[in-house]
Structure 1
Amino acid sequence: MSDLLLVRHGETEWSASGRHTGRTDVPLTADGADQAVSLAPYFLDRRPALVLTSPLRRAVATTRLAGLTADDTDPDLCEWDYGGYEGLTTEEIRRTRSDWSLWRDGVPPGDPEHPGENAGQVAARADRVLARVAPVLAEGRGNAVLVAHGHFLRVLTARYLGLPAEEGRLFLLRTGTVSMLSTEHGLPVISGWNTRP
């Protein structure tokens, strides 16, 4: 069985300042572009069987700068829709909800472009992505690569491991990194996390 490589996009102004960046299509910063370019050596000798990217430009740019060619963009790889908390930091949210946690409490609805999602909705998208890549991984023709976003990839990791979406809280994921999901004795495992070449 092949491995599933998770690439979190490079830094954006919003990720650098801790703002919840769901569907807002912000570009990479210069540092974020450098982070993406720094991933290219990792993929130089690897020939993935499948590369999927979120359609948001921070992920598309990371894919290109890392030397990858996307086979497809998949809207299921978009970041968690933060609804009414889009663009806010956790500190700002906790001024009115002192013990708020995305994983436990979710988000309130926002405007029509940011209706918000709960953990179950994000998990359903992650499950669809995992079902899409499962045949590629099972064939063993090469690794599959997903280029996407922090909270979404954390949920996807939890689902890959057979955990509820909320357990994605356990997997801190940095910008401009590669993580690897694999198997050991037929069971799903994390075999690399937050790596940079």
Structure 2
Amino acid sequence: MAQLTLIRHGETEWSRAHRHTGRTDVPLTETGEEQARAAGKLLSDRQFDHVFVSPLRRARETAVLAGLPDAVAEPDLMEWDYGGYEGLTTAQIRETRPGWYLWRDGVIPGDAEHPGEQVESVGSRVDRVLARVRPLLAAGDDVALVAHGHVLRVLTARWLGLDPAGGRLFWLATAGVCFLGFEHEQPVMKGWNQRGGA
């Protein structure tokens, strides 16, 4: 049966430093480029009928290096907008908000480029993505999505019928590759957080 493949972008300077990287358009590091190529090797035996990618640079670079240069930009795959927490680490946020947890407490508004969004808004965006890809999968087409850690975690939760905040259950490494599919026509997870030999 058709399969939905998820690929998180490779490492950036900000992801390496554990900074919340939403809409800031940072490039991959050399390690991130190696990770993206390794993800491509992991997928080298697969043919995709459709590939969609976040328009942000780190995702687009990952798609190209993974051997998916014809990916179509999908704005709803952009990362969670962290608002006023953009660029900060969890430790920095907890200096003023002790015990803060993104999945429970959300974000505060930021500037015009980072107004912020709550997990339900991310859920609405990924629901639109899934509404777009489900007919393709039903037609027997294999689909790949290249995007970001948190948005792909929310998408996985929604695929499995969980609330958007259920994404907290699915930790995803840089350049992690995941497989979603069906068992007896029901959505399931077929593989999670697989990585190439970078």
> If the length of structure 1 is used for normalisation, what is the TM-score?
0.97
Alignment of 1:116-195 (within 5 A): 116-141=116-141, 143-195=142-194
Deviation, 1:189, is 1.0
* Cα contact 2:63–2:71 (8 A) shared by 1: no
* Cα contact 1:77–1:129 (8 A) shared by 2: yes
Letter in 1 for 2:167: G
Give the corresponding residue for 2:79: 79
Structure 2: distance between partners of 1:166 and 1:154: 9
Residue 30 (structure 2) pairs with residue 30 (structure 1): yes
Structure 2: distance between partners of 1:41 and 1:30: 17
Structure 2: distance between partners of 1:55 and 1:159: 21
Deviation, 1:184, is 1.1
Structure 2: distance between partners of 1:104 and 1:42: 34
Question: CA offsets, 1:96-145, max 9 Å, x none?
Answer: 1111111111100000000000111100000000011111100113x100
Gaps of 5+ in 2: none
* Cα contact 1:43–1:68 (8 A) shared by 2: no
Give the corresponding residue for 1:97: 97
Q: What SS is found at the alignment partner of 2:43?
A: helix
Structure 2: distance between partners of 1:183 and 1:100: 36
Deviation, 1:185, is 1.5
Q: What SS is found at the alignment partner of 2:95?
A: coil
Give the corresponding residue for 2:63: 63
Deviation, 1:76, is 0.3
Deviation, 1:43, is 2.6
* Cα contact 1:53–1:70 (8 A) shared by 2: no
Q: Which runs of 4+ in 1 moved over 4 A?
A: none
Structure 1: distance between partners of 2:110 and 2:58: 22
Structure 2: distance between partners of 1:108 and 1:62: 29
Deviation, 1:186, is 1.7
Q: What SS is found at the alignment partner of 2:52?
A: strand
Number of residue-to-residue matches in the alignment? 196
Structure 2: distance between partners of 1:27 and 1:172: 22
RMSD: 0.9
Give the corresponding residue for 2:6: 6
> If the length of structure 2 is used for normalisation, what is the TM-score?
0.97
| Percent of aligned positions that are identical | 60
Q: What SS is found at the alignment partner of 1:44?
A: coil
Q: What SS is found at the alignment partner of 2:178?
A: strand
Q: What SS is found at the alignment partner of 2:88?
A: coil
Deviation, 1:177, is 1.4
